[in-house]
Structure 1
């Protein structure tokens, strides 16, 4: 019979399997570290996720994953789409009705439609801005600019620009994308054309100025004619009302007023029986003093 006592302590078992336990823990930690970004998906504010199942139906088009933390199998892929309004500045070139080249600076505001993000991902992909938005906007604006003359592009009508925008927005809505606005921020014409247009506008302004002056002179001539007609009518009315007695009465009043003045007078009597006396003004008192 053995004299060594039996021991029920788990320590020998732990010591014998300690290396195995440490190995399993390290493998688990390495596995989680390696696949963490593929398993734990963080979807931020204003974003949605579109899942691609490698062993299954492929792209999930009937649902999207909302904001927050989502766990998936490491062999699947989650694509993140920003559904907020985005703005993209873009430069492009178009030809007018005459075939002249103009440069346009535009600003596009857009966002993917939330209900159809899955279909957008399946049919177009994340690079839908360069594949769909920009080409469609350029194409529609080129068509609209091609119907306008260089004069219309130099001084564009806001209604025509709005027509371009509306047509572009209608076309892009068919591709699961909403265009909130297309703003034409600047139109640049070739330097030679711009110089010609500026000279043309200056000539038109000068012609309008001359036309305005002519109209003013015509109005002034018309005013003077009306004034002359009024004076003529006034004189005719006065002449009809003037009689010899009235003229004598006015002469008497003038003679009385002159005789009452402080200046010396020379009165000539005998200017005719029907005429008023002639009163000639003499030297004033101040003149007499100066003569002395």
Structure 2
């Protein structure tokens, strides 16, 4: 198992997703396509082939050993990422195939895969598997980096068409995306001549999500050290710099609220209750007797 490092965890907290390009080897991609995508042109076909997995099933018990999906979730890099974010013993919420036929006329609306979620001490993740090359013409998944800190009702953001800084995620066969369940996203229209397929697996934690990643590179004292707001991150391990980043779709005042939410998420994942970006959250907690 290869757990996530401080730089990867920081990017997840800042952006709400991680992209692992080409993680599945070619033979596993081929086996996945043969099992769940071959001769399908719509969702219904692909979903009918998936094994039935009840809500709450432990991930370790969800798939037969000889099932392609068992091989996928057992990959050391993916298993390590799941463990890093959720901790041990995570359970399956649901899984589904999304298959888009060629020459589509419309895109999916922007949404997040939850109702208004008031949880502060836990979050789910969604693992998206792309078993084939996904080009820009094929659409891929559109995400709004950093939007996971804005808790909205599922389709209440559908009226938004394009936001500054949005990213259309493409990549080679075997690419995996790991999303915070509140991240705003949408499937883009498939304008190519090929069928596009994506498998989604939502997972829930079963215990505290603190300290399950590779913390050997994390220096709490250095991470807490204040630095001027809006100063550029000096490196991927610069926690203060990374988490003070302003995404271009957010105005400066509401971006400060995003920073507070990122601080809360970092505290949850690191266990460092004294961590605060530019003291924003610390000020709110200052209630002298």
The answer to which structure has the higher helix fraction is: 1
Q: Same fold (TM over 0.5)?
A: no
TM-score (norm 1): 0.16
Structure with larger Rg: 1
Instruction: Return the structure number with greater relative CO, CA threshold 8 A, min gap 6.
Output: 2
